[in-house]
Structure 1
Amino acid sequence: MTIDLFEGWNGVLRVLVVGTLAYAGLVLVLRVTGKRTLSKMNAFDLVVTVALGSALASTMLSTGTPLAEGLAGMALLVLLQFGVTWASVRSERVQRLVKAQPAILVHRGRWQDGAMKRERLTREEVLAALRGQGHAALSETVSVVIETDGSLSVLSGQPSGDQPSSLANVAGAGEDR
């Protein structure tokens, strides 16, 4: 068994040059397409972010991936992300296809067991989110919502009657439980 710790300066030089150029190309593409490209608004965005990292790593470290092909792959991912988000902003059908809807897990101190099962969350995970946001008791919360990106939001306080509710687009929010 051999351990390859160093195969020569050519490989190191290639990683430095190609890595720098690939990184610069990725930054340029991301600046052109805007902040939304690397957001974590939903699972689709996360997949694109992970795929971009994988493409960058492959371009930098694989001698079988030329810089031009790596940059083309990263640009394609970003352009596809841009196209899908552009379409989802303009079409509810596309939006429903690529985005999950937020859902209420706890409402007015009561567990929403059906939503918890659909979202595959345990009470312990929700309680951890409550603690993480400084809430000592379930009764202190108006709602706990699982957002489109999988994060948990804890809402406290009473909504004002003359202001729009932050629960307007959340599954189960219209039902008084």
Structure 2
Amino acid sequence: MFFDSMHDLWRVFLVGTLAYIGCIVMMRLSGNRTLSKLNSFDLVVTVAFGSTLSSILISSDIALAEGLFAIALLVLLQFVITWLSVRSGAVNTIIKTAPTLLLRNGRMLDDAMRKVRITSDEIRTAVRQKGMGNLEQVAAVILETDGSLSIISAEKLGSGSALEGVQGAGDRLQH
């Protein structure tokens, strides 16, 4: 019930330690972008790393070399896709979603909210978490490519140049 054999525990210890070291080496060699949370694609890759590492640890059917090869393949594919997305607008469009404006100058944009499946309660929660008491203080709420909500106060909007590339921002916001 608690364990089948001491051999299995030692296997998990040894394979886990070596797989962990292998992961660290591969992540260091591949650079910071490999485990970033810049968009939903990055999240999927990070989950795949965890799942692969878990499989190496738990399943005695997967040899350490096979598991490390699988992780190396994920690192390589992440590198290739991000390299291509930086150099090709078409690949970038396929991989990344555009940030979307959900609230402009205190008014919620219902069509945009419906399109990205965000409720007004979720927007109000994010605004409150920023310590703001009323929506009129908010120049913009943006659903970012990583799924987070960015809130820009009217006071901090400035020229609004940070909104370039945000779906629905079109013209820069007015004070």
What is the TM-score of this pair, normalised by structure 1? Answer: 0.93
The offset of 1:160, in angstroms, is 3.4
The answer to whether structure 1 residue 57 and structure 2 residue 54 are counterparts is: yes
After TM superposition, what 4+ stretches of structure 1 lie above 4 angstroms from structure 2? Answer: none
1:171 paired residue number: 167
Q: How many percent identity over aligned positions?
A: 47
Q: Say which structure is richer in helix.
A: 2
CA separation in 1, counterparts of 2:53 and 2:25?
Answer: 13
The offset of 1:135, in angstroms, is 1.2
2:150 paired residue number: 153
Q: Secondary structure at the match of 1:104?
A: strand
- Map 1:119-130 to 2 at 5 A: 119-130=116-127
2:93 alignment partner AA: R
Structure 2: tracts of 5 or more residues without a match: none
Structure 1: tracts of 5 or more residues without a match: none
Give CA-to-partner distance per residue, 1:111-167, whole Å, 9 cap, x none. Answer: 111110011010000101001111111000110000000100000125434xx7110
1:118 paired residue number: 115
1:98 paired residue number: 95
The offset of 1:8, in angstroms, is 1.3
Give CA-to-partner distance per residue, 1:84-131, whole Å, 9 cap, x none. Answer: 001111111111000000000000111111110011010000101001
What is the TM-score of this pair, normalised by structure 2? Answer: 0.94
1:87 paired residue number: 84
- Count of matched residue positions in the alignment of Structure 1 and Structure 2: 172
The offset of 1:22, in angstroms, is 0.4
2:128 paired residue number: 131
